[in-house]
Structure 1
Amino acid sequence: MLGRSVSPVFVGREAELATLAEAYGEARKGLVTTLLLGGEAGVGKTRLTQRFADMAARDGAHVLLGGCVELSTEGLAFAPFTAALRQLVREQGTTKVSALLPEGAERDLARLLPEFGEPSVDGDTETGRARLFEQFLTLLERLAESRPTILLIEDIHWADRSSRDLIAFLCRNLGSAPVLIVLTYRSDDLHRQHPLRPVLAELMRVSGVLKLDLPRLSKDEVAQQMAGILGRVPDYGKVQKVYERSEGIPLFVEALLEDGEDCNFPDSMQDLILSTVERLPEETQRVLRIAAAGGIRIGHALLAAVSGLSDLEMESALRPAIAGNVLQIADNRAYVFRHALIREAVHDELLPGEHQRLHARYAEEISRDRTLVPPGRAAVELAHHWHGARNDEWALISAWEAARKSMKAFAYAEAVPLLERVLMLWDKVPGAAERIGSDHTHVLEKAALAAGNSAEVDRGIKFVRAALAELDEKTEPDRVASLMVSWGRFKINKGKSGVLEDFRRALDLVPEPVPARVGVLIKISQHLMLCGEIEEGTARGEEGLRIARALGDEGSEGDLLMNLALGSAINGNSAAQYETNLHARRIGERIGSGRLILRSIGNNIDSLNDLGRSKEAVELSYEGERLAKKYGQTRSDGVFILNNRAEALEMLGRWDEALSTVERALSLGPTLRTRFHLVRVLADIALARGQVEQLESYLSELGVLKERPEDFLQDIIGSTRLHIGWHLMKDEPDSALAVAERILARPATSSKSMLGWRLLSLIRSVTDRAQSFDPERVAALRAHAAELAATLRVGSAAAEAYRLTYSGDFDAAAAAWESLHRPYPQAKALLSAALAAAESGDKEGAAARLAIARPLAAALCATPLMGEIDLLIRRTGTATASSPSELLTPRELEVLRLVAQGRSNRDIAAELFISAKTVSVHVSNILAKLGVASRGEAAAAAYRLALLTS
């Protein structure tokens, strides 16, 4: 019998344990969501977290445990979350767990755990995966309502892509719920290309995420560990030798003491770890080698089946390994290697033939009885073991099954390599199509779908190309058409041209009024509308609508109605768009389609904003956000809704709220095109505030300065506005003039009110600025602008306000903007009206207008506009003095009060329940409004001006 090698005394780590406890305390206040614990293999991460979990449990916390295993990299999706969910079901039962979720939500969790019944049906949609994420978030939030909750996930360096995505989602979205997520990983395993590295970098930018690095033990701590293991104070010389050889890594200290007093020192750490195993009986070593082929954790029944031993023989063989602390007994009659390094060392010693035979035995036994592995794991276990056994036929069959299971669980990223394995083995297996019941092209189609849903665009293109090369459009036009639509969508994601030609080719392939044609008509009509091809887009949309209604396909009818509504808006009829979207929403409510409901709401937020009803748009966005969470689509439609809310807030001059909204939307990982929309909101505010560095960073990301080609009119005109504004801010009217000339030379610029009139009002500013140095070009540009203006409808109060600005009726424009509660364009119109009054000799009229404009600009912190107003004030000799306290918003006064107390941004954020980034924005605004350069000067000004008196 070997001696005890683990110290019964918890050595060192007091500071780290205190940090964990502090993070738990902050999580209970809603200030911390996640702690990342990194450290070398063997440094003691598991023991530290177990100690912390025990302490927290005694304090009343609900601790859920989950761990990643090496098998995750081969398609075992969501392994740590499945383990945590299984623990919760054991503790509370499926009925109580289901009661914590929205009605029917347990069907989403059924993709992780069969105990929840049959999964929901939409397994091939991105929205289903988003909904699964939402349900797990909701579950944690509801659990935390009764008591603080800790989710401990170990070894995330082995996490699969889906688990990494869910981890990032939870860390970003837990908010103020009293939940702490503790994640451990091997820092020494993270090579430059390791997929966890960008995830960690991203998480460290999220508010509420902390990082803790676990160091090696000091020499004194090694001495304490040795004393605990040996039961007495060790000799100084032995401490020195063990410390130098182990380098302070606790696992190696334990291994070096396995020989008791002899304390031999092998040449390598691999030999050191194996020396513990090699002192065990031969039969024990044989069973350990069998266990190592099965993974770090293996059930008793499976190990017995593979080894061929009876229960008594197994107990006899394993007892020395358990006594020697090589193996430990886990729950559910399972064994687990005490440390992954021990399992890895044993596994690495397997001979090639032995490795192959053992994997074959595991595959055979699991095939015979799938209950030998935890529920939901058989498919991927079989794929892993048949592949390891080099059995091509069963490796292909099991990989196909595992890929289908992964896609059913929305683990598309894990499905892709499994499907690639099927494709790789295809030619090695005679009759492969018959073996899996699908042809080679169908495998490619599934791979393209999985790649698309996991944002693997380049891989998706490869699969689509290969599938198209295998199909004959004459015999299988529907399949080719579907692939052409996928091809077009991949091109959009890559920012490539030629999408419309692909959609048209797809349409030609399905001339009959069948569902396949409807599917293509939905995509092509939407794309045409967005590109400004309204006439053809309307014709395609109406055709699709007729076919969908004839087929009784209400879901497609709703989509096509909203495509036609988009055409109404681009034609300047936002009111018609609003009503049509409402019709589509009613269809969605009738057939229970959350996707249609959310698309309608998102589009109508935009409609209301176009109509000048921006406050209503913001209110509708909150309803949309609530429903997006209900339907589990926060990361898809929910992000689109947040983007439209940010645009409405920007119009209303609620810029700090807009910035916070954008920050939140970006944290949800939007698609590239939605991200660009969000960045344009940031750029508009940075431009208005004169934040040059931020603006240029945003313009660089958007490709504006290089005039990156774009297809959609909204993107083209939005980027053009920013490009012109950037040149005007830099006092480069000639360059701004050139950009304006190029956009007006483009055919079908836009007849959408909020695009066309807004662009023309900006071009009016360009021509006014450039008049003095190039009157001929200005005259030509004005003539061209007038031609466009003659084609535009005025479909809303907002469009009318822009039209008044363009026509030069600045006082009327200012009144219109005031009625729409849009302070920034109101202040700009007042400045233009004041300039006109001053040039006509009406200084009193100019002063009256500037007296209104300056506080508006100051409240927004629109520094360039304030500079122009102040310049005109000096030129005309007028005065527009106002109290500094009137320039600060109530929130800014709150922030200023705390700044004056010497509080940090993080402290202020905790006090006011806002993010530290939002505090930073408030502080910048305060400094600009008070005309000071530092926090200290702001505090002094606050007391000097009596701004903080109650």
Structure 2
Amino acid sequence: MVGRAEELAQVRAALVGACARTGRLVLVSGAAGIGKSTLVSAVTAMAGEYAVPVAAGYAIDDAGMPPLWPWRRIARDVPGLVPVLSPNAGTSTDSAVARFTMFADACQVLADAAADRGLLVVLEDLQWADRSSLLLLRHLAGELARTRILVVATYRDTGSAELSELLPDLLRAEETRSTGLTGLTPTDLAHWLRLLSHDDPDAQADRVWARTAGNPLFVRLLLDRGTDAGSAELHQLVLAQLTGLDTEVRDLLDAASVLGERIEPSLLAEVTGQPAAQVDARLDQAVAHGVLVSTPDTAGLSFAHALVRDAVYEQLAPSRRTAVHEQAAIALERSPRPPAALVANHWRRSGAPGWAAHCLRWARLASRSATALLAYDEAARFAALARHAAEADGRDAGVRAELTVEVAAAEFVAGRVDASLVSCQAAARLAQEAGRPDLIAAAALVITGMGDPELTQAVDQLCANAIRAVPADDATLHARLRARQAMAASEVDEPVRARELSAEALALAERDGDPDALLDCLHARHLSLCAPQFLAERRAVAARACALAHRAQQPMAELWGHVWLVDAAFQAGDLAAVDQELGRIEQVAAKGEHAIAWWHLHRLRATRAALIGKLDKAVEYNEAARAVAERIGAISTIGMSSSFLEQLALLRGTIDRDLGETIMAALQAVPHVALVRIFIPLTHALLGETDLARATFAEFRHMPARLQPGPRWSVLLVHIGIVACMLDDVETAERVHHELAGLEPTYMCDGSGAAFSGGSLQRITADLALVTGRVDEAIERYTDAVEMNARIGARPFTALSRLGLAKALLAKGERSELSTARELVTAAAAEFRRLDLPGPLASADATLAAVDAAARASNPLSPRELEVVARIVQAKSNREIAQELVLSERTVETHVRNILAKLGCASRTEIAAWSSRTP
């Protein structure tokens, strides 16, 4: 290779590093013909030198390329990938979870294959790769450091939208190295020309470079043709390679170009109707002519370059091109395992009579196949193609409605929610036209779990229309629609309506007894009861979900009841039950390798660790949860990890500015959720930006009275109260106190997802009571909070409760309570030091100073009398005291009488007891 010494050194170093158990991803970019494939050939040869196995795959420039095609090519060399990349349809109701599980399994198979001698994975032409293939590569990139895998992936600079979206993630991966191939320099070209024994290579190099910009393919074409053609004629140079070939060979290559860059001789023979031996002979001529090259990784053939294939395809007469597409579709249909995606695409491009009916059938199969392969973007694309074909074929409204529901479902699991809503609405209209209430309902049930108010309102309207259309005797369908409406009502803060609808839904589901419908309704019912007031009912719902799980078909059925029981146990302060349910969640996660189960397990362990003061462990668990969340790709799961870090910052009473700015940026992404927005003033307050905190808190000051008990009600109220206390906002604290004061004295958790547990709710209510001047109430609640938190070993919150109680006793202003306050704040300060909580420690130090100052101010004894008391404590006689203080014994007796009178004590023993209690 001329002019690529640096790139060769880079890939060799990466290969050596992979062999030494430091896997790498090398991304090679550049224009068509720049030498990417040549570099791949070189690294493949290097792998042979080190006895490293090679697994090669590639994408093709064909809209009918099946999902995960590059990885399926790799599976020929790594057989363990075959079952992993062929999951059964419907293995999970959670698309992100199922895809994560498949990707994790695929990465493990590759890591195992590389364990002994290493493994070189080659992925060519990522600019044509489907989104699922790119997502799998992104997942693998995050795992490479622990493997002996070297991945070399190539792509053109002008990639697809999918590649443009995911490329930054690939480049950010820690083990990624990138190299961009550019044109050879005139010096490189001169060296090349010297190797070919050209006359005056320097002058010739300048001329060639001016016409090719150093692109190796164009250079080779120019040198082979011996012409000085300009760059505008390079396309013709590509076609000129075909000069000298027999007409029959040219015709065969025309047909091959329709099939793609890679050529399967047997398929080409069937498409052209030529004997296999004749096809082989003619392909051999093309190879000898340099138009085709052998591909060792497939034991087949390919065009010498994609540019060659493109040029041949583009010069085909339209009638010839469409005829070959039709022949290809028919030939592929007759294969033992027809590739539905390719067949559908060939029919689409053929335009032959009846193409739409054929395309409809195969595009629908391709969409379902893609869904089974968890390739959701591709499923949406082929579902849309099926709908287009149905319209072209003049199918009735019922068929088009059914296909549009399939499009909507595929778009939703692919994450294109807005597009899915449009399709749902279109499907409902078509179903109404066709008189198909089942499809009206199906359209309404596509979208779930989204908190955007406008979207939720639109889905709720779809459900309402479906309820009017579905026959009254279809209890199961009515139950599912009511449950969906209930969940929507919960998401848009209509808790009363949510509880009414969920109760109706559950009653309907119980009528038919369908376990999956029942589980859906239990989901809705539990969500509607997510408030502290409904602990007993939530426990009953959770227990029922656990009992029902083995009958339901949903793969995650086993999980939900146990997650809900953990939340309930946190609220009840039953950590033994928390641990028991966490063990069951771990069993579910390990048995099914469910990513969402692992995520719940990690985040709940983080919550428990923080509750008892194991803060380093809590951060570790939270990071594990975040890593799983990022691979799942759901924004809400990622946001929970940031929320946890914010809660730790609140506990510590301080926040790193970088973390604060990162959290603030994340908060701006979800502007419609009040529970998210409240963290904006909270973060400003932690950063010491009091004016900004007050400004951004203004919208929350009158919110408490407007809120109704439901999901996240208590969590939002608590945080409004916390910010009010931080800003000394008495009016808002009064409003929050009014809402929380009547609740049962439980622990902070409401069932809507234990992102963090702050111990006894009594402590927060006591904070509010103290800020609003209810000192006696605050003392009572803080006393409860100390006992409740200590009972469960909640060390940080026991210390905070002791600090609060000390402040309340100080505020009460009774001298007799100051010694108790001092004991409390001293114990709290010691715990804060052990737990490294600087904010609370600073507050404790300030409170201790205030207690001591109050004690000094309230002490009735003079300095001399205090000196006498100090010696009484030492059990010294009046004579001994007189001698030490150089006083007369009579004077000491006078001091003792005054001390007894001032303190109201009857003996020297009581004086000593008073001294021990007084700071």
TM-score normalized with structure 1 length: 0.75
Residue-by-residue CA offset, 1:318-344 (whole Å, 9 max, x unaligned): 333212322013366632112212212
8 Å contact from structure 1 (residues 727, 735) kept in 2: no
SS at match of 1:341: helix
Residue-by-residue CA offset, 1:610-655 (whole Å, 9 max, x unaligned): 4446797589668646744653542x55445555455555555345
Distance 1:337 1:614, change over 3 A: farther
8 Å contact from structure 1 (residues 599, 637) kept in 2: no
- Partner residue, 2:173: 206
- Partner residue, 1:19: 10
SS at match of 2:77: helix
Distance 1:325 1:736, change over 3 A: closer
Deviation at 1:577, TM superposition (A): 3.7
- Partner residue, 2:737: 785
Q: How does 1:654-665 map to 2 (within 5 A)?
A: 654=616, 656-657=619-620, 660-665=623-628
- Partner residue, 2:316: 350
Letter paired with 2:237? L
8 Å contact from structure 2 (residues 475, 511) kept in 1: no
Give 1:393's match in structure 2, choosing from 338, 350, 354. Answer: 354
Larger Rg: 2
Point out the more displaced range, 622-631 or 308-317. 622-631
8 Å contact from structure 1 (residues 402, 415) kept in 2: no
Deviation at 1:752, TM superposition (A): 7.4
Residue-by-residue CA offset, 1:399-457 (whole Å, 9 max, x unaligned): 44223323233233223333333433444435x359xxx71111111111111111112
8 Å contact from structure 1 (residues 618, 649) kept in 2: no
- Partner residue, 1:799: 761
Point out the more displaced range, 270-279 or 543-552. 543-552
Matched residues in 2 for 1:486 and 1:356: separation? 37
Distance 1:18 1:685, change over 3 A: farther
Distance 1:353 1:473, change over 3 A: closer
Matched residues in 2 for 1:751 and 1:76: separation? 43
- Partner residue, 2:279: 314
SS at match of 1:268: helix
Matched residues in 2 for 1:600 and 1:576: separation? 13
Distance 1:718 1:292, change over 3 A: closer
Corresponding position: 1:170 with 2:135 = no
Distance 1:546 1:846, change over 3 A: closer
Give 1:403's match in structure 2, choosing from 364, 382, 405. Answer: 364
Q: How does 1:800-839 map to 2 (within 5 A)?
A: 800-807=762-769, 808-809=778-779, 810=782, 813=785, 816-817=788-789, 820=792, 822=794, 824-826=796-798, 828-833=800-805, 835-836=807-808
8 Å contact from structure 1 (residues 558, 585) kept in 2: no
8 Å contact from structure 1 (residues 684, 722) kept in 2: no
- Partner residue, 2:262: 297
8 Å contact from structure 1 (residues 640, 674) kept in 2: no
Matched residues in 2 for 1:614 and 1:207: separation? 38
Matched residues in 1 for 2:119 and 2:429: separation? 53
SS at match of 2:54: strand
Point out the more displaced range, 441-450 or 299-308. 299-308
8 Å contact from structure 1 (residues 156, 185) kept in 2: yes
- Partner residue, 1:927: none
SS at match of 2:165: helix
8 Å contact from structure 2 (residues 33, 305) kept in 1: yes
- Partner residue, 2:702: 742
Deviation at 1:155, TM superposition (A): 0.8
Distance 1:14 1:816, change over 3 A: farther
Residue-by-residue CA offset, 1:205-260 (whole Å, 9 max, x unaligned): 333333232343344443454455x3889844334433443333222232222136
Distance 1:789 1:209, change over 3 A: farther
8 Å contact from structure 1 (residues 61, 149) kept in 2: yes
Distance 1:538 1:791, change over 3 A: same
Residue-by-residue CA offset, 1:827-877 (whole Å, 9 max, x unaligned): 544554554566658888777656655676577776655655566677789
Distance 1:463 1:330, change over 3 A: same
8 Å contact from structure 2 (residues 269, 276) kept in 1: yes
Corresponding position: 1:631 with 2:592 = yes
Distance 1:719 1:26, change over 3 A: farther
- Partner residue, 2:86: 110
Residue-by-residue CA offset, 1:739-774 (whole Å, 9 max, x unaligned): 44322122314597963774476267257x235xxx
8 Å contact from structure 2 (residues 122, 152) kept in 1: yes
Distance 1:860 1:360, change over 3 A: farther
Corresponding position: 1:424 with 2:388 = yes
8 Å contact from structure 2 (residues 184, 214) kept in 1: yes
Deviation at 1:790, TM superposition (A): 1.4
- Partner residue, 1:523: 484
Q: How does 1:143-292 map to 2 (within 5 A)?
A: 143-173=113-143, 176-187=146-157, 189-190=158-159, 194-226=161-193, 230=196, 235-259=201-225, 267-292=232-257
Corresponding position: 1:723 with 2:681 = yes
Residue-by-residue CA offset, 1:491-531 (whole Å, 9 max, x unaligned): 74975546545545544544335321232243234445556
Q: How does 1:484-563 map to 2 (within 5 A)?
A: 484-486=444-446, 492=452, 496-497=456-457, 499-500=459-460, 502-510=462-470, 511-528=472-489, 537-538=498-499, 540-563=501-524
> Which segments of 5 or more consecutive residues in structure 1 lack a partner in the other structure?
1-9, 90-95, 99-105, 112-118, 711-715, 772-776, 879-950
Letter paired with 2:170? L
SS at match of 1:70: coil
Residue-by-residue CA offset, 1:189-211 (whole Å, 9 max, x unaligned): 13xx7331120112233333332
Residue-by-residue CA offset, 1:262-297 (whole Å, 9 max, x unaligned): 676664332333332335444433332222122101
Give 1:82's match in structure 2, choosing from 61, 72, 96. Answer: 72
- Partner residue, 1:115: none
8 Å contact from structure 1 (residues 492, 499) kept in 2: no
The size of the alignment, in residue pairs, is 817
Letter paired with 1:785? H
TM-score normalized with structure 2 length: 0.78
Distance 1:474 1:211, change over 3 A: closer
Matched residues in 2 for 1:495 and 1:650: separation? 36
Deviation at 1:137, TM superposition (A): 3.0
Distance 1:822 1:637, change over 3 A: same
Distance 1:800 1:88, change over 3 A: same
- Partner residue, 1:947: none
Matched residues in 2 for 1:206 and 1:409: separation? 27
SS at match of 1:66: strand
Matched residues in 1 for 2:713 and 2:848: separation? 34
8 Å contact from structure 1 (residues 400, 418) kept in 2: no
SS at match of 1:182: strand
Distance 1:875 1:524, change over 3 A: same
8 Å contact from structure 1 (residues 65, 84) kept in 2: yes
8 Å contact from structure 2 (residues 401, 439) kept in 1: no
- Partner residue, 1:6: none
- Partner residue, 2:52: 61
Deviation at 1:659, TM superposition (A): 5.0
SS at match of 2:29: strand
Q: Percent identity among equivalent residues?
A: 20
8 Å contact from structure 1 (residues 650, 681) kept in 2: no
Letter paired with 1:469? R
8 Å contact from structure 1 (residues 757, 789) kept in 2: no
Q: How does 1:582-601 map to 2 (within 5 A)?
A: 582-589=543-550, 593-601=554-562
Matched residues in 1 for 2:583 and 2:44: separation? 38
Matched residues in 1 for 2:539 and 2:12: separation? 52
Matched residues in 2 for 1:460 and 1:169: separation? 26
